[in-house]
Structure 1
């Protein structure tokens, strides 16, 4: 736990700081969103107020016509329009007019009314397949360009006719939807001068169309107002204080083909703020998309969460470093104490191991000395045999002592033991096999075994005359825990070699080392051309 305390402290403080920074970030995001939503609410409220004002114009015009029983002359309509002060109060209104509902056969009366009001001759051609038409009878402003639309059948436009039919059905205001307008009208072929706008219609009748079995019969005509969308929205956005919002207005749904207006000020997408509001304009839905502009400022600096996060990480790093220094000081003291105790323990273990090894070595030396003495004819033979065996044991122990892991290489062990018997100049090809590392037990036992085999070869075999008649090879057979060390000792050049009738101490020492101490097997094959010894030992490591 102490080891991981600096890391835990760093992670805990860093997480706490990042959480606080996250809270600050989301709080600033919420504050920015609330501020933007407030600006969006203000913009939508301005739109609805301005549109209500324009629609109230149609209601006022409807009231004016109703007061005159629908019989309004050009001069009366012109005076009424001038009192509206369109440029000062109703910016965005492109034109205001009256459409007469003309049934088949009434075209002549409508033509005479235009002649009487404007002194212009207009021909209203009947349209086959429709129950009524709606030609322009009055229009303001009635300048030279506007005059050319007098008598034009507005109902010939499908979208306008649908809006007028809805107006007849429920006696409410209805919009034509998005239309392409020229500076004076909405019924001209599209050209480069076209602008986006819409038309709102109001029914002019003598009764409630909803309570009449034939509402068309009770309808005298329609009042209409033409609006240019850009002028309308410029007034809305130009009102002080100016709103830091980009507006896109769509008729019915968000689609490029339905776009009514887009602000000149480009939106700033980096804030990630956007809202869509739906409003109703004369019975027709509008989708208003609002985004912040470069003029929008967040209520709090966006760098505050970053500063909090960096400060928290710096604090976490400082705490972790202090904890790390304290841990290292404590570890140094603990390690010194542990090293002292470990040194004492290792020293005690080494002393015990030395006593154990010395005891085993003395026991083995005594056993070898007794057996050597029992099989020696005189003191000289005993001295030579005993000295050779002690040197073999010493050589094996010396190899283990030089190894840090208390291990010896099988090939090196063979060279040492054979060199003591045959001399240090061993021929090439005498030994062959992979590198095999032997532990202490195998090193001691095989060292004596190799010494005895070499001594017997020197005494009785052809190898005594030439070490080249001796071949030694080894390999590892099997895998895992079933691995076996296979060792072959082959003496050649001797003819008619027979097994000895009496087993000497050297042979018994070999068998005891292989079968008892190393739990292996040994087979001797006395052949016509020499001796072959096969040794198999467990070698799982």
Structure 2
């Protein structure tokens, strides 16, 4: 090949040769033009400056990663705060319920203790009344009179819990035999005095009504001989008021079902033999079975949800009454309440423990409701927080998508700007080269228009499938279809499927146009035009190269452009070697003219 001008401009375009170094070239043509024609040519071939597009500002986005990292913490925090609030309200409600239950049980305990105290006050009042009756009598009260008096009281009907009312004389021990005889005479049969004692006084039971089997067993018993009874009798004498004993076992306990008992003494003027002025002749007293007494009191409160243990404060080891279970759960034992009441000079301690069924679900209805509402609130807050975070995430994704779309639009604008500049620069170069070879404006317009049409066909092939690439076969069919029929053009092509990027398609399209135009120019008839285009992909180093052979069997060395090459040859060299960094060669042999084009492919 002859000398040629090849190599890309600063933007990968054809190099502008020095017109002054080519006699008869563009400089001579330009000099021969009139000023009006020069202006017209300038207006048609010189591109106007393309305005530079401003790069769109990339919208600022929140730190999506940090926001996503905070989302679980925010949701967990909201749920935990709500859960803590609900738990606090529930615990506070439970405490209020516990206080309400404790107050209700305290009122119930006060009721039980007050009932017992009222019952004992009635019994003490009965003893006082009986003592007054004894004190009012001038003569000693006889057994029949006392029996009629007690029967009229109806103890079992009106004073449940009391074992009876009796009279015990207080005599010196020296008068014990006489006392035994007087008691036997009063009852009409012999009554044994017991037990033998060593005290200076004796306190035998003279009368005890109602005279049932239990009370009959107690007649003649010396109560002063027993320490607990003696202590209470002495206390009653000293104070002149009713005084109770500590826990004792009554003489009346004649069955296997024994109960703890106690007695209350009140001194009287009446004596066994004579009236005493000092109110020390004897005692009006009452024996009590503590179990029956408590049963009578508790019977007035049926279904009482508690257990009760009553002890004498001075003798706590022997309970007066205890219906508590063998084992009390710790939670119930912690709710036990103790009340202390005065009983005839002594103090009783009543410990009341709620039964397992005392507080039920109704007592916990408020806390259950608050707990359920708190749980619903936690679920609602969790759902609301989740919805909020989801909406926030959607907003962030939308913002990110908008930002990406803005970036893509900016990229497309920059790409469009770049491509338009490249096309205009390529058109400018084609125009300049066409001006060098065209003899007049008519020829310039024809050649320049044909080459622009070749570029348009290449661009159509690139944009046909919506991608920035073109199929090699489709591109060649579009270019040579203008000089031969479609079916003949298809038969001229042979090679594997190859895709070209936009730059490669534009360059190869112009090359195919130049070669097909040149072949048609020097062919005798268009119908007789024979061309074969073969291609293959070869591995050269790490790159894939397209090797395309353009074969014209009928072409002769003198029938084409000379070795020096015209504009077409220069354009092909510039496109293949300059734009595509490839090689271009033309040889003549037995197969005719063979043009070999090779360049590295950019697409896989």
Equivalent position of 2:294 in the other structure: 233
The answer to whether residue 108 in structure 2 is matched with residue 47 in structure 1 is no
Equivalent position of 1:262 in the other structure: 323
Equivalent position of 1:526 in the other structure: none
In 2, Cα distance between the equivalents of 1:46 and 1:125?
Answer: 37
Q: Please give the secondary structure, in 1, of the residue aligned with 2:99.
A: helix
In 2, Cα distance between the equivalents of 1:216 and 1:340?
Answer: 122
How far the C-alpha of 1:217 sits from its partner, in A, is 6.2
Distance 1:81-1:157 versus aligned 2 partners, 3 A rule: same
Q: Equivalent of 2:249, from 180, 198, 211?
A: 180
The answer to whether residue 381 in structure 2 is matched with residue 308 in structure 1 is no
In 2, Cα distance between the equivalents of 1:152 and 1:37?
Answer: 42
Equivalent position of 2:342 in the other structure: 280
In 1, Cα distance between the equivalents of 2:258 and 2:384?
Answer: 70
In 2, Cα distance between the equivalents of 1:99 and 1:27?
Answer: 55
The answer to whether residue 315 in structure 2 is matched with residue 251 in structure 1 is no
Distance 1:104-1:253 versus aligned 2 partners, 3 A rule: closer
In 2, Cα distance between the equivalents of 1:126 and 1:196?
Answer: 20
The answer to whether residue 186 in structure 2 is matched with residue 117 in structure 1 is yes
Q: What is the CA deviation profile of residues 146-170 of structure 1, one whole-angstrom value per residue up to 9, with x for unaligned ones?
A: 4343222111111111111111121
Q: Is the 8 A contact 1:135 1:152 kept in 2?
A: yes
Q: What is the CA deviation profile of residues 333-371 of structure 1, one whole-angstrom value per residue up to 9, with x for unaligned ones?
A: 6777999999xxxxxxxxxxxxxxxxxxxxxxxxxxxxx
Q: What is the CA deviation profile of residues 29-69 of structure 1, one whole-angstrom value per residue up to 9, with x for unaligned ones?
A: 22222222222222222111111111111111111111114
How far the C-alpha of 1:135 sits from its partner, in A, is 0.8
Distance 1:206-1:144 versus aligned 2 partners, 3 A rule: closer
Equivalent position of 1:75 in the other structure: 144
Q: Please give the secondary structure, in 1, of the residue aligned with 2:281.
A: strand
Count of matched residue pairs: 331
The answer to whether residue 288 in structure 2 is matched with residue 219 in structure 1 is no
Q: Is the 8 A contact 1:136 1:152 kept in 2?
A: yes
Mapping 1:86-485, distance limit 5 Å: 86-122=155-191, 124=193, 129-143=198-212, 146-181=215-250, 184=252, 192-205=256-269, 218-239=279-300, 242-252=303-313, 257-262=318-323, 273-293=335-355, 294=357, 297=360, 298-301=362-365, 303-329=368-394, 332=397
In 2, Cα distance between the equivalents of 1:277 and 1:194?
Answer: 26
In 1, Cα distance between the equivalents of 2:384 and 2:316?
Answer: 57
Q: Please give the secondary structure, in 1, of the residue aligned with 2:353.
A: strand
Q: What is the CA deviation profile of residues 445-476 of structure 1, one whole-angstrom value per residue up to 9, with x for unaligned ones?
A: xxxxxxxxxxxxxxxxxxxxxxxxxxxxxxxx
Q: Is the 8 A contact 1:11 1:316 kept in 2?
A: no
Q: Is the 8 A contact 1:246 1:266 kept in 2?
A: no
5+ residue gaps, structure 2: 1-65, 408-604
Distance 1:116-1:128 versus aligned 2 partners, 3 A rule: closer
How far the C-alpha of 1:9 sits from its partner, in A, is 2.0
In 1, Cα distance between the equivalents of 2:110 and 2:214?
Answer: 40
**Greater radius of gyration (CA):** 2
In 2, Cα distance between the equivalents of 1:259 and 1:86?
Answer: 21
Distance 1:39-1:254 versus aligned 2 partners, 3 A rule: farther
Q: Is the 8 A contact 1:39 1:245 kept in 2?
A: no
Distance 1:339-1:196 versus aligned 2 partners, 3 A rule: farther
In 1, Cα distance between the equivalents of 2:358 and 2:208?
Answer: 41
In 1, Cα distance between the equivalents of 2:195 and 2:215?
Answer: 22
How far the C-alpha of 1:128 sits from its partner, in A, is 6.3
Q: Please give the secondary structure, in 2, of the residue aligned with 1:201.
A: strand
In 2, Cα distance between the equivalents of 1:195 and 1:291?
Answer: 21
Q: Is the 8 A contact 1:107 1:126 kept in 2?
A: no
5+ residue gaps, structure 1: 208-214, 343-541
Q: Is the 8 A contact 2:290 2:320 kept in 1?
A: no
In 2, Cα distance between the equivalents of 1:238 and 1:268?
Answer: 25
Distance 1:340-1:134 versus aligned 2 partners, 3 A rule: farther
Equivalent position of 2:132 in the other structure: 63
TM norm structure 1? 0.54
In 1, Cα distance between the equivalents of 2:350 and 2:123?
Answer: 19
Distance 1:32-1:250 versus aligned 2 partners, 3 A rule: same
In 2, Cα distance between the equivalents of 1:338 and 1:163?
Answer: 102
Q: What is the CA deviation profile of residues 68-119 of structure 1, one whole-angstrom value per residue up to 9, with x for unaligned ones?
A: 1472110111011101101111112122211111113222331232122112
